[in-house]
Amino acid sequence: MREEILKALLERNKTLSELSKELDLTKPSVYYHLKRLSAEGLVRRLKNGNKFVYYALTEKGREFAKLIVSSLISCLLSYAIASGVKNETPVGRCIGYVGYVTSSDFSVAYILAFVFIFITIYFTIKLFEKT
């Protein structure tokens, strides 16, 4: 739930009502999570002189939200890569001098693919942010 709020605020500053509608949650529920995120230093309240109160990510919150987005994308891509490898290589089949493929080999493939893709995406975001 809090991850969804952070991702929504990554786009732009939003009011409690906007977040409630976008995430299809009650206002008290969204307010509770915003309060917790504020206590952690990830979100801050912005008053602009009228009756509306906007919520915005702090710098720490922005970094955390980007980390969440990077890890989600990395999970999806690593799953797709490792699944493709698994579908083309039957378990228990001898693959030349390497030996036999076991199911634990695919677990390692998932982990390595995730780490590689996560690092690539995270640092790409950092690079484009600085330019």
Per-residue pLDDT tens digits for 44-93: 998 877 788 899 999 888 888 887 777 777 777 776 766 665 555 554 44
- Tokens 């786009």, residue? 11
As assigned by CATH, the class of the 2-57 domain is mainly alpha
The C-alpha atoms of residue 78 and residue 74 are separated, in whole angstroms, by 6
- Domain locations in the chain as residue ranges: 2-57, 60-130
The DSSP-derived string for 39-66 is: HTTSEEEEE-SSS-EEEEE-HHHHHHHH
d(CA 60, CA 84): 36
Each residue of 15-32: pLDDT tens digit?
999 999 999 999 999 999
pTM above 0.75, yes or no: no
Rounded CA-CA distance 86/101 in Å is: 10
Predicted local distance difference test score (pLDDT) of residue 95: 47
User: CA of 28: how far to CAs of 11, 25, 52, 107, 128, in Å?
Assistant: 22, 8, 16, 41, 36
